[in-house]
Each structure stands twice: as C-alpha cells, then as structure tokens.
C-alpha cells in the first residue's frame, strides 16, 4: 500500500491579488513561507520516505521548507506536477478577464490546458510515484487545479468542488488497484488558536 499526502503550495502575492498563476513561476510570499513552516511542524510527527514537488518555485520552496524540518534533503522535482497551463489568462484578475473577453470568457479557449489533459498528466505522475514507492509514505507538493483534476481521475466519486487551500493536506492511498481518500483539503495547522479548520 502506498500512502500519498498531496499538498498545495503556500500563498503568493498573486494568490492575494486573485491573479491566475498557471505556470507563471512566482515565489512564495512571507505568509506562504510561514504556512509551510506550520505544515512542516504538523508533518514532523510522522515518518516520510520521499518528497516530490512541482519544479515551479512556489511549490519547490514549500517542499524544501518541509524537507528541512523532516530531515529529507532530496526533493524530487517533476514538471508534470506543475499547475495547469493558463495560456492568455495567466496574470489576470477576474475583473481584467471580464474587461478583455466579456462575461463568457471562461468558455473561450485562450490557450489554456484542458481539464482532461491535466487529469491525464497528474494521474500519470501519481501512478509512477506509486510504482516507485509501493509501500512508502510520500509527500507530493503541487498546485490547486492540477491536484483537483488528478483526484477527479483517481477517485471519480470524490467531491472536489471545494478549492484546495494553501498548504492544505489531502491524503490518498492505493491498496491493490483501488484508490481511497481519507482526508481532503485539511488546513488545521494554519489555525493555531482554535485547533480546527
């Protein structure tokens, strides 16, 4: 059985500005680094065998912060874990998209990667990680849209309508040929005062 913990990267300036990031290579902001440290502390109570991450800076930096706390030096960077490509939409806010392309902007192609392409790409890399780590516990640091599309393919019955929060944890495992999800979009580590979120 392979256990995978899927993690969305920490926050960036563009997250706060509600700009579509896609594959634009933005760094974490200070809050994003603090979120990653809180997540690393949460994860340090368990043992982990490997960390994989998107090669985009906001994900790879999140992974390095976690790896430093866990004592895992090698981060396996894989471009297949990058966010969905946003084409002409990257760098724009909703207001800017409405201004440029009108109310129906989301139905226009604009060079964006399709959901099916993201699902196929994400499933390919997750299945490959499972083959390489058949009995391990692995962390995968990636991005919101690609992770949700990947989960849609692996677990069609799972409700992924809620967008993943920055540094949220989603736990999946593969037993034989069947995938299961025991935790979706959990960011309890960010709520240090009340203990739940």
Q: Identify the structural domains of the chain with CATH numbers, from first to last.
A: 2-190 (3.40.50.1240)
Residue position matching structure tokens 């994860």: 43
Average per-residue pLDDT for the chain: 95
* Residues in contact with 187: Cβ distance below 8 Å, sequence separation at least 6, in sequence order: 165, 166, 167, 168, 169, 197
Q: Give the containing element (helix H, strand E) for 94.
A: helix 94-101
The reported pLDDT for the residue numbered 195 is 40
Predicted TM-score (pTM) of this structure: 0.95
The reported pLDDT for the residue numbered 12 is 98
Q: Which residues are catalytic?
A: 9, 83
User: Is residue 196 predicted with pLDDT exceeding 90?
Assistant: no
* Residue 149 labeled ligand binder: no
Question: Structure tokens of 135?
Answer: 């009995």
* Residue 26 labeled ligand binder: no
The better pLDDT of the pair 13, 195 is held by 13
What percent of the chain clears pLDDT 90, i.e. is strictly above it? 93
* Residue 85 labeled ligand binder: no
The reported pLDDT for the residue numbered 25 is 98
* Residue 131 labeled ligand binder: no
The reported pLDDT for the residue numbered 177 is 80
* Residues in contact with 193: Cβ distance below 8 Å, sequence separation at least 6, in sequence order: none
How many C-beta atoms lie closer than 10 Å to residue 123's C-beta? Answer: 18
User: Is residue 43 predicted with pLDDT exceeding 60?
Assistant: yes
Q: Tell me the per-residue pLDDT of 63-93, one tens digit each, with 9 for 90 and over.
A: 999 999 999 999 999 999 999 999 999 999 9
Q: Tell me the per-residue pLDDT of 160-181, one tens digit each, with 9 for 90 and over.
A: 999 999 999 999 999 888 899 9
8-state DSSP, 164: P
Q: Tell me the per-residue pLDDT of 141-160, one tens digit each, with 9 for 90 and over.
A: 999 999 999 999 999 999 99
What percent of the chain clears pLDDT 70, i.e. is strictly above it? 97
The reported pLDDT for the residue numbered 176 is 80
User: Is residue 194 predicted with pLDDT exceeding 80?
Assistant: no
């Amino acid at each position: 059985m392979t256990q995978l913990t899927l993690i969305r990267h920490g926050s960036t300036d563009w997250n706060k500005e509600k700009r579509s990031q896609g594959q634009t290579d933005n760094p974490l902001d200070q809050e994003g680094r603090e979120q990653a440290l809180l997540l690393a502390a949460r994860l340090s109570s368990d043992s982990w065998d490997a960390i994989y991450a998107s090669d985009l800076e906001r994900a790879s930096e999140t992974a390095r912060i976690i790896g430093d706390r866990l004592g895992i030096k090698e981060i396996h960077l894989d471009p297949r874990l990058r966010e969905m490509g946003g084409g002409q939409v990257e760098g724009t806010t909703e207001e800017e998209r409405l201004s440029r392309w009108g109310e129906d902007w989301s139905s226009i192609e604009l060079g964006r990667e399709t959901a099916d392409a993201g699902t196929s790409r994400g499933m390919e890399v997750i299945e490959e990680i499972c083959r390489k780590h058949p009995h391990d516990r692995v962390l995968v640091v990636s991005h919101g849209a690609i992770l949700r599309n990947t989960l849609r393919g692996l677990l069609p019955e799972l409700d992924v309508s809620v967008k993943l929060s920055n540094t949220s944890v989603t736990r999946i495992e593969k037993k034989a040929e069947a995938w299961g999800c025991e935790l979706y979009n959990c960011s309890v580590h960010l709520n240090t005062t009340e203990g739940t979120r």
